[in-house]
A = this chain, B = another copy of it.
Amino acid sequence: MSITTSAPIATIASLSAHEGQTVTLRGWLYNLRASGKLLFPIFRDGTGTIQGIVPKAAVPEAVFETLKNLTLESSLTVTGKVRADSRAPSGFELDVEDVQVIQKVPVETPFPIQLKEAGVDFLMEHRHLWVRTPRQSAILRVRATIMRAAAEYFDTNGFIRTDPPILTPNACEGTSELFEMDYFDDDKAYLTQSGQLYIEATALALGKVYSFGPTFRAEKSKTRRHLTEFWMIEPEVAFLELDGLLNLAEGFITHIVTTVLAHHRADLKVIGKDVEKLEAVITPGGFPRVSYDEAHAMLETAFAEGKIEAPHTYGHDFGSPDETYISSQFDKPVMIHRYPAAFKAFYMQPDPLDPTKALCVDVLAPEGYGEIIGGSQRIHDYNLLKSRIEQHDLPLAAFQWYLDLRKYGSVPHSGFGMGIERAVAWICGLDHVRETIPFARTLNRIYP
């Protein structure tokens, strides 16, 4: 099994450092085209793909015959000379000198995902193999960078990562969308929907904190935007008020998009994303900030002009067509703030200028991708928070520790949450969130 080669081992992503040299790549046969006495295998190694050139006259007969008969996704090492070629997607081609097959996929059982189209159910059933195809691999690489850049923004700005529990004791906001399980003897546990309440506690200990982990929603909806298991990153900051929160969200998204553009132009091309749409996001000038009232007025005008089909009712939340229309008016994410408190979460601080409004923000992605961030300033007054818990018919006992945070050194504080999969869908331009995560969990699927 050991590789016998004297050439240096390289990766496809690093070939620019090896131009003109003979190197050994370790990977898989992604595609093979034959043209008479010339073979054009395409190899992949996880970092990218490269086309090999194999003229029958230039290589030992065994090498030519081996490659000619090799099945797709067979594993191998291939040794060859790296040649710059401006027509090649990676910028290089490989003049193959030798090949050693590690495991040949049997001819009778070919790799099930061929270049031709396959149905989504089939692909999801074979997700463990589907992830190998160039577009899916590119999406996963971009996802990894989005996650890294998201954490990096907080790490380099003085935030302390504090991990809230996944198993939580109480069904704080009703049990209908919670996954419930037995927790030893008598207890029930529920899978977290957000770490917010817990990181409010650590923010009052450490000042600026964030959490980053999976969250869960047992929602019986089957849409392009819903997973039952998804990743959230949530900052929470003591002494931060709404204006500062908007600045934080803007800096955060800008950093993520900037980092993706710096590292993934080739991947975005494979995925088919128009990078100009992302470049527009990070041009100077800041994100538009629109109040709920202003957004409602935009929708009234749009309805009057026949640009949206249904009118928006003042005091109600925005529907998906409303959000799509609003975001289509801007080429950057739009920050809508100060929604009516009536349909927002119980813990949101009222606006002192109009207590029927909450000091909150939803950030809508461009191109109709909907809400990617939701956040707010939190109520810091003990009595107000207690009355809100009661008004919402929430179990006071379950919130006693949360109320404690307002009893012992309460301060104004704010935070938001960003769903990673929605951000990946927007940044990659994907139709469905199931492609944004290695193994999506939906209403009908927990396999593989």
Residues of A bordering B, CB below 8 Å: 1, 11, 13, 26-29, 45-47, 73-75, 102-103, 105-106, 109, 111, 126-129, 131-132, 136-137, 140-141, 143-144, 147-148, 151, 155, 158, 160-169, 179-184, 187, 189, 191, 198, 201-208, 213-214, 216, 218, 220, 228-229, 231, 238-239, 380, 401-402, 404-412, 437-439, 441, 443-444, 446-448
> Are B163 and A438 interface neighbours, CB within 8 A?
yes
> Are B202 and A169 interface neighbours, CB within 8 A?
no
Q: For residue A203, which residues in chain B have a CB less than 8 angstroms away from its CB?
A: 46
Q: Which of B75, B105, B165, B198 sits near A229, CB closer than 8 Å? A: B165
A111 to B408 Cα, complex, angstroms: 6
> Are A128 and B166 interface neighbours, CB within 8 A?
no
Q: Which of B1, B169, B205 sits near A412, CB closer than 8 Å? A: B1
> Are B148 and A207 interface neighbours, CB within 8 A?
no
> Are A103 and B409 interface neighbours, CB within 8 A?
yes
Q: For residue A443, which residues in chain B have a CB less than 8 angstroms away from its CB?
A: 184
Q: For residue A28, which residues in chain B have a CB less than 8 angstroms away from its CB?
A: 204, 409
Q: Which of B46, B111, B191 sits near A208, CB closer than 8 Å? A: B46
Q: For residue A151, which residues in chain B have a CB less than 8 angstroms away from its CB?
A: 148, 151
Q: Which of B47, B109, B411 sits near A103, CB closer than 8 Å? A: B411
Distance (Å) between the CB of A406 and the closest chain B CB?
A: 8
> Are B409 and A165 interface neighbours, CB within 8 A?
no
Q: For residue A438, which residues in chain B have a CB less than 8 angstroms away from its CB?
A: 162-165, 198, 201-202
A12 to B214 Cα, complex, angstroms: 33
**A46-B205 in contact given A129-B404, A169-B447, A181-B180 (Cβ < 8 Å):** yes
> Are B161 and A144 interface neighbours, CB within 8 A?
yes
> Are B128 and A167 interface neighbours, CB within 8 A?
no
14 contacts between A and B (CB under 8 A): A1-B412, A13-B158, A28-B204, A102-B409, A128-B401, A148-B151, A163-B438, A165-B441, A166-B214, A167-B179, A181-B181, A184-B444, A198-B439, A213-B214
Q: For residue A401, which residues in chain B have a CB less than 8 angstroms away from its CB?
A: 126, 128, 447-448
Q: Which of B131, B162, B182 sits near A144, CB closer than 8 Å? A: B162
**A409-B73 in contact given A229-B165, A404-B129, A438-B198 (Cβ < 8 Å):** yes
A400 to B183 Cα, complex, angstroms: 30
> Are B132 and A161 interface neighbours, CB within 8 A?
no
Q: Which of B73, B204, B238 sits near A408, CB closer than 8 Å? A: B73
Q: For residue A406, which residues in chain B have a CB less than 8 angstroms away from its CB?
A: 103
Distance (Å) between the CB of A290 and the closest chain B CB?
A: 24
Q: For residue A408, which residues in chain B have a CB less than 8 angstroms away from its CB?
A: 73, 105, 111, 129
> Are B229 and A167 interface neighbours, CB within 8 A?
yes
Distance (Å) between the CB of A174 and the closest chain B CB?
A: 17
A198 to B448 Cα, complex, angstroms: 9
> Are A46 and B238 interface neighbours, CB within 8 A?
yes
> Are A163 and B103 interface neighbours, CB within 8 A?
no
Q: In the complex, what residue of chain B is closest to A239 when comparing beta carbons? A: B26
> Are A103 and B410 interface neighbours, CB within 8 A?
yes
Q: Which of B103, B127, B137, B441 sits near A206, CB closer than 8 Å? A: B137
Q: Which of B47, B161, B180, B411 sits near A158, CB closer than 8 Å? A: B47
Q: Which of B102, B214, B437 sits near A214, CB closer than 8 Å? A: B214
> Are B46 and A128 interface neighbours, CB within 8 A?
no
**A144-B160, A151-B151, A213-B214 known, 20 other contacts, Cβ within 8 Å:** A1-B380, A28-B204, A47-B207, A73-B409, A111-B409, A131-B202, A132-B204, A137-B205, A140-B162, A144-B161, A147-B161, A148-B155, A163-B231, A165-B441, A166-B229, A169-B447, A169-B448, A179-B189, A180-B181, A180-B182
